[in-house]
Structure 1
Amino acid sequence: MAGRQSGWSWATLLQLLLGVNLIVMPPAQARSLRFVTLVYRHGDRSPVNTYPKDPYQEEKWPQGFGQLTREGMLQHWELGQALRQRYHGFLNTSYQRQEVYVRSTDFDRTLMSAEANLAGLFPPDGMQRFNPNISWQPVPVHTVPITEDRQFLEMVANETGLTDLTLETVWNVYDTLFCEQTHGLVLPPWASPQTMQRLRGLKDFSFRFLFGIYQQAEKARLQGGVLLAQIRKNLTLMATASQLPKLLVYSAHDTTLVALQMALDVYNGEQAPYASCHLFELYQEDNGNFSVEMYFRNESHKAPWPLILPGCPHHCPLQDFLRLTEPVVPKDWQQECQPTSGPAGTDVIVALAVCGSILFLLIVLILTILFRMQAQPPGYRHIADGEDHA
């Protein structure tokens, strides 16, 4: 030990004599969460509408159709509590308006879901408690006005009184029965577990048909790609030190989540449950670069599931995330949504005209052959050159 101390003393003396400072490496920067975006579905609600023969019409529901229920309020309050725990240390323990911005669609159920969620996320603390008997404080929620098998189906039509069954109306029937069943109402005898299972299958197919199957890439650009474009923009802004709230929230619908997840190619094929939440988390790594992680919370008593963008690891570098999602982001949404016109439309018209002319000539040719065959005398048969005469 004495020799080791002597060695350190000589090294210290040598440093002092030479006037050389030892290089002290700065501590490594810890990986840190910089920004979070949430997209969640509203909580449990009453049916949006019903079918003619349903014994439970709108007057059976306390607030009418399409409204958030007490269960839905509790679901989002619990989600807010879970988010408060997950982001402890990232968000201030009390509400700070500079940290949070919440945007909702202009529906009662999404606005109320956002408010219930914020009640769980930011319970009043100290001076923020404006009434000692109320453990709640108002937090702003921003919005903008709204601008937008055959025998089986015959059975459903007969039992519901619907005259026009489409994928949309079948979805509505299932949704109505599901809401009624969830709230303890007795379903009609025809709505057996087997029928509910088949209706659910058709409902799931309607989602895939609406957002995928045919021209999925084009649909992704014009549906979920619009929201994804804004999320990408916000991630980029935060990575370039722009000042944005630390938490951006979108209170929306199951269709919003499905469209977004289809655009990201992480959709699992099932309807997003009530109060489910898609999380985007932007991290700054210890080397200064940024990465994106995605999670999906679809079960209230389990941690969110990691979501992996195809072509990237879970800790996806921001530049790779932007590159891989670029193809599904519309450049000009209004222009891309316009029907085909101009030269392309002219080409279609010309092609149809040519096909029509060819079809007309074929019909004329067939009729001419038939006419000539009928005009031949009985017993006459044309013999082609080289045919055996024996």
Structure 2
Amino acid sequence: MRAASLGGTRASLSLGLLLLLGLWLDRGVRAKELKFVTVVFRHGDRSPIETFPNDPIEESSWPDGFGQLTQLGMKQHYELGEYLRRRYGKFLNESYKHEQVYIRSTDIDRTLMSAMANLAALFPPGGIRIWNPSLLWQPIPVHTVAASEDRLLYMPFRNCPRFQELQSETLKSEEFQKRIQPYKGVHNFTLPSWATKDTMTTLRELSELSLLSLYGIHKQKEKSRLQGGVLVNEILNHMKSATQPEKYKKFIMYSAHDTTVSGLQMALDVYNGILPPYASCHLMELYLEKSEYFVEMYYRNETWHEPHPLTLPGCTHSCPLEKFHELVAPVIPQDWSTECMITSNHQVLRVILAIAFCLVSGVLMVLLFILVRHGPCWQRESYRNI
């Protein structure tokens, strides 16, 4: 009997320990709470934007013409949508709610279509949301602005003289010239000879160098203030909203281009130098843990591998929000329009105007001194009559 009693006591203790362990684990899980997510991705596979002279495969050979999303591109984004559903399904309550989700795309066919293909997998309708039993799909709004007015996603932004000046400086820089030297003369091949594995590798490397030079190599931080830093600032503002008790968007999706993904990553200084592949996705997550907010970043650039963790230089992978903001502050523009207009030519003009102003001011001061000291003849005569 005593043995049985001891056995029962041990069983009770074991059960109690398990319950305590379960509660402790539950608290540990709940201690890190996902509060906000932003995803920025490149569109899926597309037909060529343009082609080389005398290419036997003309635009008419492509079902929808140049620059359009292909069926492979649709499948790539549907797969990405399925992944996002697996990763964030519980966070998003497994259903679309307009007050929680916002999607924006550049005003380009392939990015708009990529977002829609993605959303078809991310938010399939269920229950009362099924409006057509033979079509498990629901329309979800994708917002956009005209490409000419896009100052968030359609990078590199146009109408920014200072950025154009920086691009010109980059191409002339010693570092760029050193990197481009091995590739000079590559474009003299005819179709039969240049379409080799080695040549295609060279062209890919040139594309990567072109993209790298667009935002980096020369004055990277200043370039980022005029490009990717704008998007960094937008995302940070959404994160700040997520720390407040008021209603806020939980999930924001940006459908854009390789220049957008790389521009964002260059501003964050986490770019790996490789052209972002189709449907590549940069994820930024905001967590609340023990009354403090943390930012985590991931990069999904291959379907057979979990997203790669990214670490903001100067911080840990799970970076405190305040520290994150402090570290990215140098690439956030204070006044984008003004900073875009401050070119070297403007600086020279300002110096010339400043010198001219000083000269004119000096002459006026001398004249004023003479006027006060001696005064005009008619005033001197009137003084004598007093």
Q: Which bin holds the TM-score, normalised by the shorter protein?
A: 0.7 to 0.9
Q: What is the 5 A alignment of 1:273-292?
A: 273-285=277-289, 287-292=290-295
1:94 aligned onto 2:125: no
| CA–CA distance in structure 1, aligned partners of residues 68 and 306 of structure 2 | 28
1:237 aligned onto 2:238: no
Of 137, 149, 159 in structure 1, the residue corresponding to residue 190 of structure 2 is 159
| 2:114 match | 113
| CA–CA distance in structure 1, aligned partners of residues 306 and 296 of structure 2 | 14
| 1:124 match | 125
Q: What is the 5 A alignment of 1:17-36?
A: 30-36=31-37
Q: What is the 5 A alignment of 1:337-356?
A: 337-340=340-343, 344-347=348-351
**2:187 aligned partner, one-letter code:** V
Flag the 1:272–1:343 CA change in 2: closer, same or farther, 3 A. closer
Shift of 1:57: 1.4
SS in 1 for 2:132: coil
Aligned length: 299
Cα pair 1:53 1:159 within 8 Å, conserved:
no
Cα pair 2:106 2:145 within 8 Å, conserved:
yes
**1:309 aligned partner, one-letter code:** L
SS in 1 for 2:265: helix
| 2:336 match | 333
| CA–CA distance in structure 1, aligned partners of residues 72 and 228 of structure 2 | 28
| CA–CA distance in structure 2, aligned partners of residues 253 and 130 of structure 1 | 33
Structure 1 or 2: larger helix share? 2
SS in 1 for 2:297: strand
User: Per-residue displacement from partner, 1:272-295 (whole Å, max 9, x unpaired)?
Assistant: 00001101100000x211000000
Q: What is the 5 A alignment of 1:5-44?
A: 30-44=31-45
Shift of 1:55: 1.3
1:313 aligned onto 2:316: yes
| CA–CA distance in structure 2, aligned partners of residues 153 and 57 of structure 1 | 28
Of 318, 322, 326 in structure 1, the residue corresponding to residue 325 of structure 2 is 322
| CA–CA distance in structure 1, aligned partners of residues 328 and 102 of structure 2 | 24
Q: What is the 5 A alignment of 1:92-241?
A: 92-147=93-148, 148=158, 154=185, 156-157=187-188, 159=190, 188-241=192-245
**1:127 aligned partner, one-letter code:** I
Larger Rg: 1
Flag the 1:190–1:294 CA change in 2: closer, same or farther, 3 A. same
Cα pair 2:120 2:138 within 8 Å, conserved:
yes
Shift of 1:159: 2.6
**1:332 aligned partner, one-letter code:** D
| CA–CA distance in structure 2, aligned partners of residues 329 and 272 of structure 1 | 23
* TM-score w.r.t. length of structure 2: 0.73
**2:75 aligned partner, one-letter code:** L
**2:301 aligned partner, one-letter code:** N
Shift of 1:190: 2.6
Shift of 1:93: 1.6
**2:200 aligned partner, one-letter code:** M
| 1:184 match | none
Cα pair 2:95 2:123 within 8 Å, conserved:
yes
Unaligned regions of 5+ residues in structure 2, if any?
3-26, 149-157, 159-179, 356-386
Moved more, 144-153 or 205-214: 144-153
**2:257 aligned partner, one-letter code:** H
User: Per-residue displacement from partner, 1:120-149 (whole Å, max 9, x unpaired)?
Assistant: 101110221111111211111000112157
| 1:67 match | 68
Cα pair 2:242 2:249 within 8 Å, conserved:
no
Cα pair 1:46 1:61 within 8 Å, conserved:
yes
| 2:299 match | 296
| Percent identical residues | 52
User: Per-residue displacement from partner, 1:341-360 (whole Å, max 9, x unpaired)?
Assistant: 66653548999xxxxxxxxx
| CA–CA distance in structure 2, aligned partners of residues 348 and 211 of structure 1 | 31
SS in 2 for 1:251: strand
Shift of 1:158: 5.6
| 2:258 match | 254
User: Per-residue displacement from partner, 1:283-310 (whole Å, max 9, x unpaired)?
Assistant: 000x211000000000112211100000
SS in 2 for 1:195: helix
SS in 1 for 2:264: helix
**1:237 aligned partner, one-letter code:** S
| CA–CA distance in structure 2, aligned partners of residues 314 and 53 of structure 1 | 50
* TM-score w.r.t. length of structure 1: 0.72
Unaligned regions of 5+ residues in structure 1, if any?
2-26, 161-187, 352-390
**2:212 aligned partner, one-letter code:** R
Cα pair 1:224 1:259 within 8 Å, conserved:
yes
Flag the 1:48–1:348 CA change in 2: closer, same or farther, 3 A. farther
| CA–CA distance in structure 1, aligned partners of residues 314 and 100 of structure 2 | 32
